[in-house]
């Protein structure tokens, strides 16, 4: 099967609610999925997190994309999918980001041929796709800035990363990491394809050069070595960084293909779809 990959859709930056119509969604994404009409669309689409800030809009768009283009769409959620922005969202989810995540996962998983992985595996035509939202940890800082301790990292997080303000229900940068690693632990031996939102390598070789030598990288990476070294994973798809990244390590192919914000993607025109055959 041919698997297309994309992450970081940030849908609410592209479509105002009243313009979230089938026509607009299809014409925008058809151009991306076909690389401007030059290639065939795959069988399965992976969306590696950061779908958008509005659960209702997210599910509307995913349903339209699956019905029109793909046999299956497989997602995990990203840090932005935890965000509670505005009083309406805070009220609806009782100021608890985890309720927003649960709601989004439920909306996706109740649809036929849409899958939201949360420490779970879905098998499609014999291929096992596993995934979880995942989260960042302090590994990058421990390697490249060993004089900083966990309190320093938390201070950096509070001062530089919106997650610390817009995710309600956490007070420590790697609180969600602890929860998410248990989920990866449960599935990594049963995946041909692993999907996480965050880059599982904190080595600078696997981080875009323009970010090198900054402790902030720790909020974009985690140590996934246990999983890619000891599992049977052939492809690991991630997002979170808005740079297109590819690398190979321990016989695993790592791929990241973000749509990103409109100013980064030139409203989708600058995106080259990535795919693999499995
Ligand atoms: Fe993103």
Q: What is the CATH T-level fold of the domain 2-277, as seen in this structure?
A: Purple Acid Phosphatase; chain A, domain 2 (3.60.21)
Backbone φ and ψ for 139, nearest 5 degrees, come out as: -60, -45
CA of 3 to the centre of ligand 1 (A): 21
- Between strands 72-76 and 114-116, the pairing is parallel
14 alpha carbon to ligand 1 midpoint, in Å? 13
Q: Ligand 1 centroid to 226 CA: how many Å?
A: 25
* Contact indicator for 245, 236 with CB cutoff of 8 Å: no
Q: For residue 203, how far is its CA from the centre of ligand 1 (angstroms)?
A: 20
How far does the centroid of ligand 1 lie from the alpha carbon of residue 137, in Å?
17
Question: Distance, CA 132 to ligand 1 centroid (Å)?
Answer: 16
What are the boundaries of each domain within the chain? Answer: 2-277
Q: What is the pLDDT along the chain (278 residues), one digit of tens a residue?
A: 999 999 999 999 999 988 899 999 999 999 999 999 999 999 999 999 999 999 999 999 999 999 999 999 999 999 999 999 999 999 999 999 999 999 999 999 999 999 999 999 999 999 999 999 999 999 999 999 999 999 999 999 999 999 999 999 999 999 999 999 999 999 999 999 999 999 999 999 999 889 999 999 999 999 999 999 999 999 999 999 999 999 999 999 999 999 999 999 999 999 999 999 99
CA distance 124 to 262: 32
C-alpha 80 – ligand 1 centre gap (Å) = 7
Give distance in angstroms: CA of 8 to centre of ligand 1: 4
Distance 111 CA to ligand 1 centre (A): 24
């Amino acid at each position: 099967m041919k698997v297309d990959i994309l992450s970081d859709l940030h849908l609410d930056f592209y479509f105002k609610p009243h313009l979230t119509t089938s026509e607009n969604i299809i014409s925008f994404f058809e151009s991306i999925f076909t690389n401007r009409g030059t290639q065939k669309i795959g069988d399965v689409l992976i969306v590696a997190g950061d779908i958008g800030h509005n659960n209702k809009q997210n599910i509307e768009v995913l349903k339209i994309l699956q019905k029109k283009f793909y046999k299956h769409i497989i997602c995990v959620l990203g840090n932005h999918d935890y965000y509670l922005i505005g009083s309406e969202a805070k009220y609806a989810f009782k100021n608890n980001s985890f309720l927003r995540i649960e709601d989004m996962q439920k909306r996706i998983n109740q649809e036929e041929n849409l899958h939201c992985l949360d420490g779970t595996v879905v098998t499609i035509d014999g291929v096992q796709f596993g995934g979880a939202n995942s989260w960042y940890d302090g590994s990058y800082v421990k390697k490249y800035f060993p004089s900083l301790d966990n309190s320093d990292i938390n201070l950096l997080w509070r001062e530089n990363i919106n997650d610390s303000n817009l995710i309600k229900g956490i007070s420590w940068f790697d609180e969600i990491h602890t929860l998410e690693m248990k989920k990866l632990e449960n599935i990594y031996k049963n995946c041909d394809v692993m999907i996480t939102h965050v880059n599982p390598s904190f080595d600078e070789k696997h981080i875009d050069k323009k970010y090198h030598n900054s402790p902030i990288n720790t909020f974009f990476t985690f140590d996934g070595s246990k999983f890619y070294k000891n599992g049977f994973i052939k492809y690991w798809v991630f997002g979170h960084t808005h740079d297109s990244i590819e690398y190979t390590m321990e016989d695993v192919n790592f791929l990241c293909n973000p749509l990103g914000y409109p100013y980064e993607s030139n409203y989708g025109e600058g995106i080259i779809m990535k795919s693999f055959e499995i």
